[in-house]
Amino acid sequence: MPRRATYPAWSINALKAHQEAPSFMQFRPNHTHLLMLVSLIVVSINLPCRSSADERADVTANRNSPLVNAVQNCRNSVVNLRGRKTVPVDPANGSSQDTKQVNGMGTGVVIDSRGYVLTNYHVVEGVKTIEVTTAQQEKTTATLLAHDPETDLAILKIKTKNPLPPITIGSSSDLMLAEQVIAVGNAYGYEHTVTLGIISSLKRTVQVNDDQIYRNLIQTDAAINPGNSGGPLLNINGDMIGINVAVRIGAQGIAFAIPVNDAIDIAAELMSQIVPGDLYHGISTQTVYEDNSPSLIVNAIIPKSPAEKAGLKSGDTITKINGEEVTLELDFQTALLFAAEDKSVKVTAVQDGKTKNFIVSLEKSNKSSAPNSIAWLPLGLKLEPIPASQMVDQHPNYKRGLKVKSIRSDSPAEEEGIMPGDILVAMHGWKTESLENLAYVLQRPDVVERKDFMFYIIRDREPFWGQMRVATLPTH
């Protein structure tokens, strides 16, 4: 409704003065004056007015900032973790063999709606019963499924009545110094605590003790406290760009997070360990970021594998698994985990510029298809994948590799001087970023015919190369 008209005080006084003073001129309105008067009245009647409800809406809109939206959008994807663990007593306060029970706390992020959660391994290490509280205050428990002590990451499976929304995964490849970030976590047991800060530095190396060293960390001044470990570091859009992991004791505003690109690659490796029945498909994939947008590329297809039989090729871009969109290697591994029950999976991929569908029948792996056994026999090497986070300081051209665990006596590898601790990064013109990559190379016809080939290793952050040929494989 229109506002009531108000007049300045001087107009009333002027009116009284006019009534009391002698009239020297009588006002006689003509048609023009009447039209102007009517127009003024109409204009005053139609002047917009704002109610108190409108004003409150404006205030609410101003308060509902991007920061608020970022936290609201991720809140249900963050869970709080608690549990009791046994830790050694400080030798200064007792025997070196004494232990005590302590209450541990931490945070986890949902990476799959069926209850799969990513957190730091140190949060759940040694905890018998992992207690979980969701944002809706549902209390349940979790099981530790897979972990990697070197990168301090772990996968949990929590029991929940309702599906949980996975956190939105961003990219850590385009982070900027002084960019605003948000930390969410179970700080000192205060669930879902939110703190704000900026990115202070990138690619930090931090050694927290004799056994644990972190590389390629994000440094932030957002308040991160005990209990924040395993929780998300968000950008202003609410995308997870890191996993909070450590804080500098005794310092103010110095905390660290694992970049999300590294964390998700490691999570994919951990998820691959969970697939039941050791099912084999023969596909090696890698997440590739172009303009900070991820896509899932096929690195290699192992010859005679289910994937090759289905028609997949190296260089294909996988877009869907069983109709679900995938852009990350983590998506791929999670999809395979649930496809295991059907023993086959429908893969949609872009091949030679065309979108095609492939049915890959999953098989149980055996010695002839297990990449590590193949690597051991012809080369004399026992190898294990090394996570991307451990390759950051090794060499700028290689993001992954295979670490040499041991060497067989009188093998081609020993003859060439390869040593335990070396990192195999390329062979015969192909990068060896996974055991599947290596198996692909070893089954190429010219390698099988025992022709010489080049190999590249990283030793003490320095690249070396050499030539070898595979040993004759046993016939039994």
Could you read off the pLDDT of 422-453 as tens digits, one per residue?
999 888 777 888 777 787 777 777 676 656 77
- pLDDT tier, 203 (very low <50, low <70, confident <90, very high otherwise): very high
CA-to-CA separations, 101 to 37, 86, 197, 312, 423, in angstroms, rounded = 87, 5, 34, 53, 40
| Tokens at 38, concatenated | 């009517």
What is the number of residues in the chain?
Answer: 476
Mean pLDDT, residues 134-141 taken together: 94
378 or 475, which is more confident?
378
Task: Please check the confidence at residue 55 and state whether its pLDDT lies above 80.
Answer: no
Please tell me the distance from the alpha carbon of residue 241 to that of residue 22, in angstroms, as a whole number: 82
Q: What would the 3-class secondary structure string for the chain be?
A: CCCCCCCCHHHHHHHHHHHHCCCCCCCCCCHHHHHHHHHHHHHHHHCCCCCHHHHHHHHHHHHCCHHHHHHHHHHHHEEEEEEEEEEECCHHHCCCCCEEEEEEEEEEEEEECCCEEEEEHHHHCCCCCEEEECCCCCEEEEEEEEEECCCCEEEEEECCCCCCCCCCECCCCCCCCCCEEEEEEEECCEEEEEEEEEEEEEEEEEECCCCCEEEEEEEECCCCCCCCCCCEEECCCCCEEEEEEEECCCCCCCEEEEEHHHHHHHHHHHHHCCCHHHEECCEEEEEEEECCEEEEEEEEECCCCHHHHHCCCCCCEEEEECCEECCCHHHHHHHHHHHCCCCEEEEEEEECCEEEEEEEECEECCCCCCHHHHHHHHHCEEEEEECHHHCCCCCCCCCCEEEEEEECCCCHHHHCCCCCCCEEEEECCEECCCHHHHHHHHCCHHHHCCCCEEEEEEECCEEEEEEECCCCCCCC
- pLDDT for residue 142 is more than 80: yes
Write down the residue that tokens 């018998």 correspond to: 128
User: Average pLDDT in the 401-413 region?
Assistant: 81
Q: Is the pLDDT of residue 316 over 90?
A: yes
Q: CB burial class (10 A; 0-12, 13-18, 19+) of residue 182?
A: buried
| pLDDT interval class at 11 (50, 70, 90) | very low
Is the pLDDT at 12 greater than 70? The verdict is: no
pLDDT of residue 302: 80
Inform me whether the pLDDT recorded for 293 exceeds 80. Answer: yes
Please list the residues that pair with 220 across neighbouring strands: 199, 255
Answer whether residue 320 shows pLDDT above 50.
yes
Distance CA 253, CA 232 (A): 17
| Among 370, 383, 381, 368, residue whose Cα is nearest residue 476 | 368
In this prediction, residue 295 carries a pLDDT of: 93
Q: Per the structure block, which two tokens stand in for 368? A: 């002839």
Q: Which of 152, 262, 316, 331 is catalytic?
A: 152
Nearest to 212 by CA among 337, 122, 116: 122
Which residues does 119 contact at the CB level (< 8 Å), separation at least 6? 81, 106, 107, 108, 109, 153, 154, 156, 229, 230, 243
Indicate if 314 belongs to the active site: no
Q: Per-residue pLDDT for 19 more than 70?
A: no
Report residue 101 as tokens. Answer: 């029970």
Residue 119 has pLDDT above 90, yes or no: yes
Active site residue 395: no
CA 186, 68, 197, 287: dihedral to nearest 10 degrees?
Answer: 80
Which one is catalytic: 229, 284, 305, 389?
229
Q: Which domains does the chain have, with CATH numbers?
A: 76-272 (2.40.10.120), 275-364 (2.30.42.10), 371-468 (2.30.42.10)
Q: How many CA atoms lie within 13 A of 71 on its CB side?
A: 14
Which of residues 27 and 113 earns the better pLDDT score? Answer: 113
Amino acid at 359: I
Could you tell me what percent of the chain has a pLDDT over 90? 39
Q: Which residue has the higher pLDDT, 125 or 336?
A: 125
Nearest to 86 by CA among 95, 97, 75: 97
**Structure tokens, 404:** 């040499």
- 250-289 burial, b at 16+ Cβ within 10 Å, e below that, comes to eeeebbbbbbbbbbbbbbbbbbbebbeeebbbbbbbbbee
229 is catalytic: yes
Rounded mean pLDDT, 291-315:
87
Predicted model pTM: 0.71
Q: What is the mean predicted confidence (pLDDT) over 76-104?
A: 79
Percentage of the chain lying above the pLDDT 70 cut: 77
| Region of poorest pLDDT, from 17-26, 85-94, 190-199, 354-363 | 17-26
Catalytic residue among 77, 122, 239, 281, which? Answer: 122
Q: Are 375 and 442 in contact (CB under 8 A)?
A: yes
> Is 50 exceeded by the pLDDT of residue 225?
yes
CA dihedral 473, 281, 265, 109 (to 10 degrees): -140
